[in-house]
Amino acid sequence: MSPAERKELQKLDDLVLGASPEVLKKIQEIDYQTQMDGLSFYDVYLDSSSLVNPNIKKSLKKS
């Protein structure tokens, strides 16, 4: 894993750990959808080119 990937994963970890109940619910919904698409939430977050729904990152950043 590259240092850039580690940094992005840390951002995502911090987002999840510091999230409000409302944001956690959104994350859970996104995670469920990525699993249904056979993808990993972390992989989708790191590799935006693999996003099935490009609004995932936007939705997380708004919260």
Q: Which residue has the higher pLDDT, 5 or 63?
A: 5
Q: What is the mean pLDDT of residues 8-28?
A: 91
23-62 pLDDT tens trace: 999 989 989 998 998 988 888 877 765 444 555 656 666 6
- The full 3-state SS of the chain, as one line of letters, equals CCHHHHHHHHHHHHHHHCCCHHHHHHHHHHHHHHHHCCCCHHHHHHCHHHCCCCHHHHHHHHC
